[in-house]
Amino acid sequence: MKVSPSILSADFANLAAECEKVIEAGADMLHIDVMDGVFVPNISLGLPVIKSLRKASDAFFDVHLMIQKPQLYAKQFCEAGADLVSFHVESDCDILRTIDIIKSCGKKAGLVIKPQTPTSRIYPYIDKVDLILVMSVEPGFGGQRFMPVAVDKIARVSGKARQLGLDNLMIEVDGGINDRSAVMCKYAGANVLVAGSYVFGSEDPARAIKKLKA
């Protein structure tokens, strides 16, 4: 099990130090949410912040694009320092072309589905990406409650991956993750957990991350 703390829950006044703290506490990567105020009803950080953070950190950047036209910006996020760029199957783009753009930059590509999107939408592309991200909340805001519908979706994605022999596929879940919801996600087949407030809001991030991994 890998843990990817969402920096959306970090103290942005001390972002570099906050990120270093959770990496030293045992986090495997940093989850970076990018929102455009169009695809989701919120606006978060963008390219300049990722570029600056990359100068201060050599951590693996797990960048989640919640934007309307990821095809137009995928390359820029790769060049800014992303190690993996994931985007939504519901967005307005040529999915295969966007995956190709990310791969051509030498980066890993991921595809994301919202809670109400059937997993069948991602099956045509599952063997072409490195990660499938199942949202367990409606994307746009941190601190939301975990939606149990995600457990079935994770199981379906995991089953499809096994059927196709995709042993290295990362199956990530994001939203309302804590030590209780993590157990359900693990047994459904998830192997990467995105946790924001549970990690950054903890008095002991190392203990929080250890509990998620356990």
- Report pLDDT for 149: 93
> How does DSSP classify residue 129?
-
From the centroid of its chain, how far is CA 206? 20
The chain-wide mean pLDDT, for the chain, equals 95
Model confidence at 136: pLDDT above 70: yes
The pTM of the whole model exceeds 0.85:
yes
Domain residue spans of the chain = 2-213
Q: Which residues, 6+ apart, have CB-to-CB distance to 3 below 8 Å?
A: 26, 27, 28, 29, 192, 193, 195, 199, 209, 212, 213
Model confidence at 97: pLDDT above 70: yes
The number of residues in the chain equals: 214
Model confidence at 142: pLDDT above 80: no
Q: Which residues, 6+ apart, have CB-to-CB distance to 166 below 8 Å?
A: 126, 127
Superfamily covering domain 2-213? Aldolase class I (3.20.20.70)
d(CA 162, CA 139) in angstroms, rounded, equals 27
Average pLDDT over residues 191-202: 95
List active site positions. Answer: 33, 174
